[in-house]
Amino acid sequence: MTAGSFRASVERMFNRAAALVDLPPGLEEKIRVCNSTYTVRFGVRLRGAIHTFVGYRSVHSEHMEPVKGGIRYALSVNQDEVEALAALMTYKCALVEVPFGGSKGGLCIDPREWDVDELERITRRFTYELSRRSLISPSQNVPAPDMGTGEREMAWMADAYKRLHPEDINAKACVTGKPRAGGGIAGRVEATGRGLQYALREFFRHPEALKRAGLSGDLSGKRIVVQGLGNVGFHVAHFLQTEDDCEIVTVIERDGAVSAKGGLDIAALREHIRETGGVRGFPGAEFRENGLEALEDECDVLIPAAIESVIHADNAGRIRAKLILEAANGPITAEANALLRDRGTVVIPDLYANAGGVTVSYFEWVKNLSQIRMGRLEKRHEEARNHLLVKELQRLSADAGFEWTLSDNFKSAYLRGADEIELVRSGLDDTMREAYTQMQTVWFEDDRVDDLRTAAYVVAVRRIAKVYESLGL
Site string for ligand GLU, 295-334 (x = CB under 6 A): ----------------------------------x-----
Specify the residue, 144 or 316, whose C-beta has the smaller distance to ligand GLU: 144
Specify the residue, 144 or 336, whose C-beta has the smaller distance to ligand GLU: 144
Q: Interface with ligand GLU by CB under 6 A: which range of 153-161, 164-172, 260-268, 352-360?
A: 352-360
Determine the longest span between alpha carbons in the chain, in angstroms: 86
Distance, CA of 344 to CA of 91 (rounded, Å): 24
Least separation in angstroms between residue 146's CB and ligand GLU is 4
Burial (CB < 10 A; 0-12, 13-18, 19+), residue 179, is middle
How many of the other CB atoms lie within 10 Å of CB of 55? 24
How many of the other CB atoms lie within 10 Å of CB of 111? 19
Q: How far apart are the two ends of the chain, measured CA to CA in Å?
A: 36
CB 60 within 8 A of CB 94: no
Q: Does residue 375 bind ligand GLU (CB under 6 A)? A: no
Q: Does residue 146 bind ligand GLU (CB under 6 A)? A: yes
β-strand pairing of 101-107 with 141-145: unpaired
Among residue numbers 158 through 177, which ones bind ligand GLU (CB under 6 A)? 176
Q: Which of 361, 368, 438, 440 contacts ligand GLU by CB under 6 A?
A: 361
CB 108 within 8 A of CB 24: no
Torsion angle of C-alpha atoms 386, 392, 398, 404, degrees rounded to 10: -20
Least separation in angstroms between residue 100's CB and ligand GLU is 8
Q: Does residue 225 bind ligand GLU (CB under 6 A)? A: no
Distance, CA of 438 to CA of 114 (rounded, Å): 45
Q: Which of 69, 101, 183, 187 contacts ligand GLU by CB under 6 A?
A: 69
Strand ranges (DSSP E) for 108-239? 141-145, 223-227
Among residue numbers 8 through 67, which ones bind ligand GLU (CB under 6 A)? none
Q: Provide the residue type at 174 as one letter.
A: C
Pick from 81, 78, 66: nearest CA to 144: 66
Among residue numbers 174 through 203, which ones bind ligand GLU (CB under 6 A)? 176
Specify the residue, 106 or 291, whose C-beta has the smaller distance to ligand GLU: 106
Q: Which of 31, 144, 174, 249 contacts ligand GLU by CB under 6 A?
A: 144
Q: Interface with ligand GLU by CB under 6 A: which range of 196-204, 268-276, 350-358, 401-409?
A: 350-358
Distance, CA of 28 to CA of 21 (rounded, Å): 9
Least separation in angstroms between residue 57's CB and ligand GLU is 13
225: three-class secondary structure by DSSP: strand
**Which phi and psi angles does 434 have, rounded to 5°?**
-60, -50
Least separation in angstroms between residue 106's CB and ligand GLU is 11
Give the binding-site size for ligand GLU (rule: CB under 6 A).
11
Specify the residue, 68 or 462, whose C-beta has the smaller distance to ligand GLU: 68
* DSSP summary character for residue 452: H
Least separation in angstroms between residue 90's CB and ligand GLU is 11
Specify the residue, 345 or 354, whose C-beta has the smaller distance to ligand GLU: 354
Least separation in angstroms between residue 357's CB and ligand GLU is 4
Q: Does residue 345 bind ligand GLU (CB under 6 A)? A: no
Specify the residue, 153 or 300, whose C-beta has the smaller distance to ligand GLU: 153
Q: Does residue 257 bind ligand GLU (CB under 6 A)? A: no
Least separation in angstroms between residue 309's CB and ligand GLU is 15
Least separation in angstroms between residue 67's CB and ligand GLU is 9
Q: Which of 249, 357, 455, 457 contacts ligand GLU by CB under 6 A?
A: 357
Q: Provide the residue type at 169 as one letter.
A: I
The helix or strand, by DSSP H or E, that contains position 443, with its residue range, turns out to be helix 420-445
- Contact residues for 388 (Cβ-Cβ < 8 A; gap 6+): none
Specify the residue, 175 or 248, whose C-beta has the smaller distance to ligand GLU: 175
Specify the residue, 17 or 185, whose C-beta has the smaller distance to ligand GLU: 185
**Which phi and psi angles does 61 have, rounded to 5°?**
-145, 130
Active centre residues (catalytic): 104
- Contact residues for 181 (Cβ-Cβ < 8 A; gap 6+): none
Burial (CB < 10 A; 0-12, 13-18, 19+), residue 186, is buried
Which residue minimizes CB distance to ligand GLU? 70
> Which residues in this chain contact ligand GLU in the complex, by CB under 6 A?
68-70, 144, 146, 176, 329, 354, 357-358, 361
